[in-house]
Each structure stands twice: as structure tokens, then as C-alpha cells.
Amino acid sequence: MQTGENDQAMRKILDMTRLISIGILLLHFYVVCYGAFVEWGWMSDLSDRLLGNVVKTGLFSSFLKPKLIALGFLAIALIGVKGKKDEKQNLKGALLYVLVGLVVYFVSYLSLLVPAGVQLVALIYMGTTGLGFLLILSGGTMLSRIIRDKLEGDIFNRDQETFPQEERLLENEFSVNLPTKYVLKGKVRDGWINFINLFRALLVLGSPGSGKSYFIIRHVITQHIRKGFAMFVYDFKMPDLAVIAYNTWLKHKGGYQVEPQFYSINFDDLSRSHRCNPLDPSAMLDLTDAVESARTILLGLNREWIKRQGDFFVESPINFLTAIIWYLRKYKDGEFCTLPHVIELMQADYDSLFTLLGTQKEIDVLINPFISAYKRDAVEQLEGQIASAKITMARIASPQLYYVLSGNEFTLDINNPKEPKIVCMGNNPQKIQIYGAVLSLFTNRLLKIINQKDKLKCSLVFDEFPTLTTDIIPTIATGRSNLIATTLGIQDASQLRKDYGREQADVIMNIVGNMAVGQVSGDTAKYVSEKIGRIMQDRESLSINSNDTSISRSKQLEAAVPASRISALSSGEFVGTVADNPDCKIELKAFHGEIVNNHVALKKEIDGYVPLPEVRKARGAIVERNYLQIKQDIRDIIELEMERLLSDPALSHLIIKKG
């Protein structure tokens, strides 16, 4: 710490140095302009003798030497100057003064060549040289007044909000690895996002256009198929992801131990859609499977019911639909256990319907409230219980849906080691509610079937996951030991809360082990920022007063990626965290960088893609015939069962007839 005496001594030394510089320059003027000084009478014998002694030292051995020495002493004096700091001073203005001063200081030599009187030439030379000297002095003083700090150089604090990231490529037989470029202390570096354990699930968040599919989801599909995964892809905008999966399967299907088959479900293009029965009786082992299926389809068609589960007028339709599904499952060992047959049987008159349902003892507990209400003429109660289910299910009573859902070309055990499959199911943004409900039934049945021991590793990819009513939590929580990798694409956490309720949405957000987030805002950005954590950042504070300027520096724990940065990410730029394995620790789990896609190679690859194959010629007549056949099947079931009951006295009491 400096004392007052030291400051005073320093000022005296600097003043002395500056005077020496001025003195040398004056001696230079006296030597160069000696003739003018003689004419002015500004000379004496004493000064001449002193000047002669100085000349003997070699100071004036060349014209420039004294000017350079004077400039050197001036520079030394300026180095020690502590000017009063001024935030308006800038480097550009100070350097301009210094450069102009240097030019004038040295170019003044040309004034000696002016054809004029000795006195005029001397005045011009001394004036221009003195002006240059003063400009240099002023510019140097201005440099000392500039505030040298980093407060203005990084107004968005980007340099401080950088942190070391993983630069190693950590690959295993299950991993998805994405090359990145990230910034560390102003330098661009190469890194890797290593999702080495996707069995702990991957959540991909980002607003529309942030690059979820192009930069992340497509690589999950291609790398997992290349590594021999069975796969289910929910393609919100069919066939964007399905085409990627299909062409990757064509290229790498020979790498599997058992070559997988490719299937797709597309309700809009029946010629390129396979047929599959989500209520396949071979996979529906007990009544709880029917309950889950009924709940899934009704909640999918009535999204507001999700938040009202447990209400009488929500649970009653679910029980009613469960009874019908289980009846068809038991009738002739499930020969007619399909969703279209369920919808048609629901439309039967109450006498016939309740008579048929009453023949199955397992569903007595489910249908008794309905039969009692019917017998008691509680029409309003009965219609409240049943009509909501009938009206809701009628929305999906179309020939196209009936055609796809009544076939059985493949089963949903995609990770069966003996018959692995890659299955793509597509939605349509214009028909989200109808298709989403049916696809939710598919996915719920699939999740239960695949979550078993000793199965092939499989990957589940859900684009725009909130458009489904799928209970994914048990799969994420327990599927890890059964080698089930789950990838969920979501636009924003608020979207998930809207469709699933706050509690279930929070569980999904918190249970995933890997997270990649593009541009999001609001509460989602705050949540992601907190999950990534904090880092030590340098802090500067500037204090200016009438006497002095002080800059203090400190370190502070701040958010590594603040919410404001997350809400301003560019397309392809992602932040997030990765999960590791006990045998492969990752210390640097957080990342913030731009995923590197070879756009030229990808475009060439995409241009070479072949479209999904045509499965059959799905003519309108065939679809319509199938639709009418399902209706006829239900009429036949009712007639045969009623005839059987009427012909057997031991069963005739089961027939329900109301007045």
C-alpha cells in the first residue's frame, strides 16, 4: 500500500523526467536554429560553452538523436502518470492524438527545407515540433485516464458463463454420441455429448424449430438401429421419423443376430399401413389389462378426464368399457376381441347388451350397477354412466380405423429376441385427439408387453409425447433393468402439465436421467437452469469518485446457464446434463454447446431416402366391406347368444327384458 510520501516522491520524479525531456528538446532547438537565435540576440558565451560541452557527449551526433531521447524521457514520464479516470475517454481518441503527434513531431524536419528567412523557418520548425510534442503528451495523458476493465467488453457476461465440458468420446453398445462445439473463456473447443445410459431415459425439450428432431432424435434412431436395438417410434408428423427409421433399417438390418421386421401404422395412408390389434387376446392375460386399455382409450378421447380420475362419471364409463372388452376377450377365446368390435357392441340395445355381459361372471361386479339402474328405470343415471362412453367411442367409428385395428399382421412384443421388430406409428396434427387416443392404446399395451426379463434391448422414441395419454412413468422407473431406452420429445413443461396434470408432469420431468434442452422460456428455462447448477464466476465492480477510481474483483457462485440464455438459444444449440454408469464415470455431466451436424452429408443422405413401402392396395371397397363385416359379426354374436340362452332352460333366467 502506497503512502503519501511515496506518491509525492513519484510525482517529483515524473515531473523531473518530463522537464529533462523538455530541456533536451530546447537544446535541440538551440542547436538546429542557432542562426535564428543569433539574429534574435538570444545567445551568450556562457551558453555557447555549455552547449559545446553537451555536444562533446555525442547527444547531437545526428539530427534525430536528441528528438528520440526527448521522446523517450516523455514516454517514461507518461508511463507513471495516474490521471483522473474518465469513463468518457476511449482508446481510439487517445491513440489518434499520439499518432498525429508522432507524425507532426518527426515530419517537422521538412519545415527546415522551406525557402524562407532563417527566423521564419526556425519559428515554423519549433512550432510544429512543439505541437507534435504537446499532442503526444496530451494523448499519453488521455491513455492514463482510460478505465481499463472488462465491464464493457462482455455486456452479456458470455465469457464468464462458460465451463469445461466433456471432450472425450465415450461410446458403448447402448450409447448415443453427438459431437459439439462449445465456448470456454472465449475459445471455441470440440466436445462430445455422451448419452451412455439412455435406459435412464432422455428428455428432449425445445420450442418448435429449436432442432429437437434434426439434431437429436434422428441420431437416437439411427445410432440405436445401427447398434441392434428393437425400436418403437411415435412419429407425430408421419412419415418424417418413420422414413429415417425405415432407411436406417434397410442399411443395417443385416447387423442383427435375428433380422428384425419393419412395420408401420398410418391411418391416413392405408396402403402403407400394416394392421394390428391393440387388444390382442394373447397379450390380454387378466381383467387388469382390460381396465388399463379402457382407461387409456377414454382418457385419450377426453383429455380433461385425466384430472378428474376417481369421479363417479369418469370411472363408470371406464368400468362399462372394461366389461365389454373382457366379454369379447372371453367369447370364443377372443376371436372378436378388437377395438372395432368393442365399439359396435357398445351400441347394442340395453336388453341384449346386459344379457350378454351377464353371462360372464368375472365382470359381474363391473356391470351390476348398470343393470340395477336399468331395472330401476334410473334412466338419467344410466345414460350419465353409459352415454358418455358410447358417444366418446363413436368418434373413432370410421372404416379406416376399423380396417387398421381389426387386423393382426404383427404383435406388439417388439423386443422378442426371436422376432425383433421396428415399429413406427404416425399421428396427424389435424386429427390429434382421435388418432392420439388410439395410438395411446397401442403404446400402453406395448409398454406392458415389452417390460419383461430376458428380452432384446429396445428403444422407445416419442416425438411430441404430450399428444399421447401414455403412462410412461413405470417404464422409465423399472424398464432400465430390462434394457428399455426411452426418449421423450416435449416442447415445454407447461405443455406436459396441461395434458397430464402438474403432479404427473413433475414426476416425468424429475425422473429422467438425461436431458437435452433447446430454446425454452418461462418456468421451464428456470427449472433447466437450476438443474444444470452453478459455477464460480469472476465479478468486477467499478467505483469512480472525484479523487480516484477503484476496480474490485471477486468470485461468486452463479448459474452456469441462466434462464435468459436458455430462452435465447439458437437452433441446434442445446444445454442439459447426461447420466453415467458405475463403470464409466463422467465428471463433466453438464453441457452447453452447438451440436455439429454435417448438413451437406445429411442432405445427401436424406435425398437418397426411399419412401415407406406399399403394403397392399387398400381399395375403398375392401375397407368398406371390412367395416360392414364387423357390424355383422356383432349382430351374429348377439343372435347366437340370445338363441343359446333361450334354448337352455338353465340359462334363460339370464335374459334381461324390461317391460
Identify the CA nearest to 616 among candidates 469, 337, 403, 464: 403
Is the model's pLDDT at 325 over the cut of 80? yes
Cell, residue 68: 528520440
Give me the phi and psi of 536, to 5 degrees please. Answer: -75, 125
Instruction: Look at residue 78 in the predicted model and tell me its pLDDT.
Output: 79
Mean pLDDT value of segment 264-271: 92
CA-based Rg of the chain, rounded to a whole angstrom?
Answer: 42
**Least confident interval from 100-104, 304-308, 364-368, 422-426:** 304-308
Instruction: Look at residue 154 in the predicted model and tell me its pLDDT.
Output: 63
Identify the CA nearest to 572 among candidates 184, 218, 159: 218
CA atoms of 62 and 246, how far apart (whole Å): 85
Does an H or E element contain 8, and which?
Answer: helix 4-32
Of residues 649 and 276, which shows the higher confidence score?
A: 276
In tens, the pLDDT along 531-542 reads: 998 888 777 776
Collect all residues with Cβ–Cβ distance below 8 Å to 156 and sequence separation of at least 6. none
Is the model's pLDDT at 260 over the cut of 70? yes
Is the model's pLDDT at 506 over the cut of 50? yes
Of residues 312 and 199, which shows the higher confidence score?
A: 199
Give me the phi and psi of 386, to 5 degrees please. Answer: -100, -40
Three-class DSSP labels, 522-589: HHHHHHHHHHHCEEEEEEEEEEECCCCEEEEEEEEEEECCCHHHHCCCCCCEEEEECCCECCECCCCC
Mean pLDDT value of segment 340-364: 89
Instruction: Look at residue 212 in the predicted model and tell me its pLDDT.
Output: 94
What is the band of 1 on the pLDDT scale with cuts at 50, 70, 90?
A: very low
Contact between 226 and 460 under an 8 Å Cβ cutoff? The reply is no
Provide the whole-model pTM: 0.78
What is the band of 91 on the pLDDT scale with cuts at 50, 70, 90?
A: confident
- Return the residue matching grid coordinates 375403398: 620
Instruction: Look at residue 658 in the predicted model and tell me its pLDDT.
Output: 65
What is the band of 530 on the pLDDT scale with cuts at 50, 70, 90?
A: very high
The topology under which CATH files domain 161-276+410-533+561-618 is: Rossmann fold (3.40.50)
Of residues 654 and 70, which shows the higher confidence score?
A: 70
Highest mean pLDDT among 40-44, 447-451, 644-648: 447-451
Query: Could you tell me the end-to-end alpha-carbon distance of the chain, in angstroms, rounded to an integer?
Result: 108
CA atoms of 131 and 25, how far apart (whole Å): 12
In tens, the pLDDT along 209-255 reads: 999 999 999 999 999 999 999 999 999 888 999 999 999 999 999 99
**Cα of 597 vs its chain's centroid, Å:** 15
Instruction: Look at residue 109 in the predicted model and tell me its pLDDT.
Output: 77
| H-state helical runs in 615-657 | 620-647
Is the model's pLDDT at 546 over the cut of 90? no
**Cα of 254 vs its chain's centroid, Å:** 33
Of residues 111 and 334, which shows the higher confidence score?
A: 334
Is the model's pLDDT at 41 over the cut of 60? yes
Mean pLDDT value of segment 278-300: 90
Of residues 95 and 532, which shows the higher confidence score?
A: 532
User: Average pLDDT, whole number, for the chain?
Assistant: 86
Contact between 160 and 538 under an 8 Å Cβ cutoff? The reply is yes
Of residues 496 and 110, which shows the higher confidence score?
A: 496
Buried b (16+ CB within 10 A) or exposed e, 113-137: eeeeeeeebbebbbebbbebbebbb
- Percent of the chain's residues with pLDDT above 90: 47
Instruction: Look at residue 64 in the predicted model and tell me its pLDDT.
Output: 80
Instruction: Look at residue 382 in the predicted model and tell me its pLDDT.
Output: 75
Q: Bridge-partner residues for 551, per DSSP?
A: 542
Of residues 124 and 653, which shows the higher confidence score?
A: 124
* Residue ranges matching CATH 3.40.50.300 in the chain: 161-276+410-533+561-618
Is the model's pLDDT at 360 over the cut of 50? yes
